[in-house]
Amino acid sequence: MKDKLFKFYKWSNSWQGTIVLVLLFMFFVAQAFLIPSGSMKNTLLVHDALFAKKFAYGIPTPHIPWLEIPILPDFRGDGHLIDGPKPKRGDIVIFRYPLNEKIHFVKRCVAKGGDKLFVKNKQLYLRIGNDDKKTIDFAKKMKAKIVDVNGEKFAFNPYSTIHKGIHHDPEITEIDGFNAPVFNYGPIIIPEKEFFMMGDNRDHSADSRFWGTINYSQVVGKPWFIYMSWDDNYKIRWNRVGKSINEIEQNLRDGILKYPVTEGHKRLE
């Protein structure tokens, strides 16, 4: 046994062994990502470098990093080698962009299959399972207001109380053909086994309001922790380094992390 362990140790220290172990780690455990845009501000910021937990929703079919070429067939037809739990409402999810699956996006899952939602005047209205009781229970859990629309119960902006990074840009006030879905969208019922994604920076996010829902085959994982972060002037944000995404969200709830809402906004990200 000692001989085998020693051989493995020697092999793991070789350049071949190091490459194999690193690739296995990236394929099945964690992968590094850099947040390129402000669509998830103020929860995730531009230049947050983070590790994604790739086993959070099962084991996705491994791809060669950066090239995004699959190294195994999609045996199950759902983009995963091993099935796992599906994204929950409120989860921040890393997934493959439906219009170009070599690109990764990160957004918050706001609705699942069977839910009904619409956006009116930028505000999100969500009906869980298209059912009054489920909606009321969910709204209470999320500390959200319950409203009646055409005889149906909806949770009004259900994530904004718990997830403090969610916000709107008061400077975005005009509707045009490009960003109309930011103001008014739906109503729609989410197809079964699909997920509706929105950015926390609600008025600066290209998300499911523009390109539709995603399915489980496109889900890669979820953000785990930030290993480095810097601002536009390359100054390190030490108050974010080493923190898990749950810690970041708790800090936002506690008022420990505060950032200018309009800093670095682009028209749409």
Question: Could you report the per-residue pLDDT of 150-189, keeping only the tens digit for each?
Answer: 999 999 999 999 999 999 999 888 777 778 999 999 999 9
| 195 has a pLDDT exceeding 70 | yes
pLDDT at 64: 82
Q: What are phi and psi for residue 175, nearest 5 degrees?
A: -90, 130
Q: Which long-range contacts (CB under 8 A, 24 or more apart) does 146-153 make?
A: 149/125, 152/116, 152/127, 153/127
Could you tell me the CA-to-CA distances from 168 to 46, 52, 127 in Å, in that order?
17, 26, 21
Q: What are phi and psi for residue 177, nearest 5 degrees?
A: -65, -25
- Is the pLDDT higher at 77 or at 176? 77
Do residues 34 and 203 make contact, with C-beta atoms less than 8 angstroms apart? no
Determine what percent of the chain is predicted with pLDDT higher than 70.
85
| 119 has a pLDDT exceeding 50 | yes
Beta pairing partners, 116:
127, 189
pLDDT at 157: 97
Q: What average pLDDT does range 102-111 have in this prediction? A: 96
Q: What average pLDDT does range 93-122 have in this prediction? A: 96
The whole-model pTM stands at 0.88
Of 37, 39, 160, 229, the catalytic one is: 39
Of 107, 112, 116, 222, the catalytic one is: 107
| 105 has a pLDDT exceeding 90 | yes
Separation CA 138–CA 22 (nearest Å): 41
Task: Give the mean pLDDT of the chain.
Answer: 88
| 7 has a pLDDT exceeding 60 | no
pLDDT at 218: 97
Indicate the pLDDT class of residue 213, thresholds 50, 70 and 90: very high
pLDDT at 15: 56
Indicate the pLDDT class of residue 19, thresholds 50, 70 and 90: low
Q: What average pLDDT does range 42-65 have in this prediction? A: 92
Least confident of 24-33, 75-84, 168-177, 190-199: 24-33
Say which DSSP state 103 is in: S
Q: Residues in the chain, how many? A: 269
Question: Could you report the per-residue pLDDT of 228-253, keeping only the tens digit for each?
Answer: 999 999 999 999 999 999 999 999 99
| 53 has a pLDDT exceeding 60 | yes
> Is-catalytic flag, 39?
yes
Separation CA 222–CA 200 (nearest Å): 15
